[in-house]
Amino acid sequence: MIPEKTTACVLHGINDIRLEERPTPKPGPHDVLIAVRSVGICGSDVHYWTHGRIGPFILNAPMILGHESSGEVVGVGEKVTHLKVGDRVTMEPGVPCRMCVHCKTGRYNMCPDVIFMATPPYDGSLSNYIIHPADFCFKLPDHVSYDEGAMCEPLSVGVHAVTRAHISIGQSALVTGAGPIGLMSIMAAKAAGAGIIICTDIKPERLEVAKSLGATHTIDLSQTSDGAARVQEILPGGVNATIECSGVESAVTLGIRATCNGGVLVLVGMGGPMSNVPLVEAAIREIDIRGVFRYANTYPKALALIASGAVNVKPCITHHFPFAQSEKAFVVAKNGRDENNKMSIKAIITL
């Protein structure tokens, strides 16, 4: 029996999260109704909570948070054929128009009319029940948990970054920043066949995690004034590709100087609107600089990597919180540590 009301975690303004009831939505002909089970807290969720905006996306009305999610299908639209009640699914949160040139050429993350969960003005998934287009729901194998299903979202960012960097068997990679997306990028690069993977950060504890997940070398930037020189010591000539995940201006410069001639620098981290970086140096060494905006066509790949065991996302899930303690989960995600000083990588809310 589906209740008439669903409880949702709603952001009303800066530092103002409330659990409140809303009508349970009804699926359209191409939708499924999902009982949400696991939702990961992303840095963007925290940023909306603490700042009320990310770049041009401004919170002007109450919005349900969350977009890293999985759940159980409990209702099916009349035109849906590939899913049924009882299926366990992970939900890709960005739904494009399917009509524009970007959608038709496969780069639907560039669609100007994409509806992305928990990006103003669109609601997210941190609710007992949500509806979602069935073609953006992917069935979980029996041995893949709801938590792992939710992790398909951040892993998709890493998969997309590695794809944009053209990392392949035997190549080398530098990942700057050992936060959740940096760690996902390390695992995706390893799965793609990278032989040498160097990770930089300013926190030794995070670098230890990076090494446990596939980084062959780590560099603590708090202990050196020239990270690029350290990379060159490990790999003279530089790495084939750099995946910049921190959004820090100095890390972009490091990426340019640590990447080999003719290599690729992929920008994943979101920094300030303007950066002072050595572009001429990148130009004369023919370093391709590529952007990353979310992902496209990655969910099946991310799910396959998890299901096969090629990528193990479980060590990144450091904290669980019941739905009633959602605000506490956001505090831990913001601080990067819990009240016992345990480091937080990914906090998951279970519903």
> Are 234 and 162 members of one domain?
yes
- Over range 12-21, report the average pLDDT: 97
Confidence of residue 212 (pLDDT cuts 50, 70, 90): very high
Q: Between the CA of residue 164 and those of 23, 50, 122, 157, 292, what are the distances in Å?
A: 41, 31, 27, 10, 8
C-alpha to C-alpha distance for 170 and 43, rounded to whole angstroms = 32
Confidence of residue 273 (pLDDT cuts 50, 70, 90): confident
The pTM for the full model equals: 0.97
| Strand bridging mode 217-220 / 196-201 | parallel
> Are 236 and 317 members of one domain?
no
Q: Which residues pair with 267 in a beta bridge?
A: 244, 291
Specify whether the CB–CB gap between 306 and 143 falls below 8 A.
Answer: no
Whether 272 shows a pLDDT value over 90: the answer reads no
Environment class of 170 (CB within 10 Å of its CB; exposed 0-12, middle 13-18, buried 19+): exposed
Q: How many CB atoms lie within 10 A of CB 261?
A: 10
Confidence of residue 300 (pLDDT cuts 50, 70, 90): very high
In a domain, 307, yes or no: no
List, for residues 111-148, the tens digit of each pLDDT value.
999 999 999 999 999 999 999 999 999 999 999 999 99
> Are 146 and 174 members of one domain?
no
> Are 22 and 109 members of one domain?
yes
> Are 129 and 175 members of one domain?
no
Helix axes 326-335, 43-51, angle to 10 degrees: 100
> Are 142 and 33 members of one domain?
yes
In this structure, the chain runs to a length of: 351
C-alpha to C-alpha distance for 305 and 154, rounded to whole angstroms = 13
Domain around 101: 5-151+313-350
List, for residues 25-44, the tens digit of each pLDDT value.
999 999 999 999 999 999 99
Whether 237 shows a pLDDT value over 90: the answer reads yes
> Are 60 and 138 members of one domain?
yes
- Tally the domains of the chain: 2
Whether 55 shows a pLDDT value over 90: the answer reads no
Structure tokens at 69: 């999610």
pLDDT, residue 282, reads 98
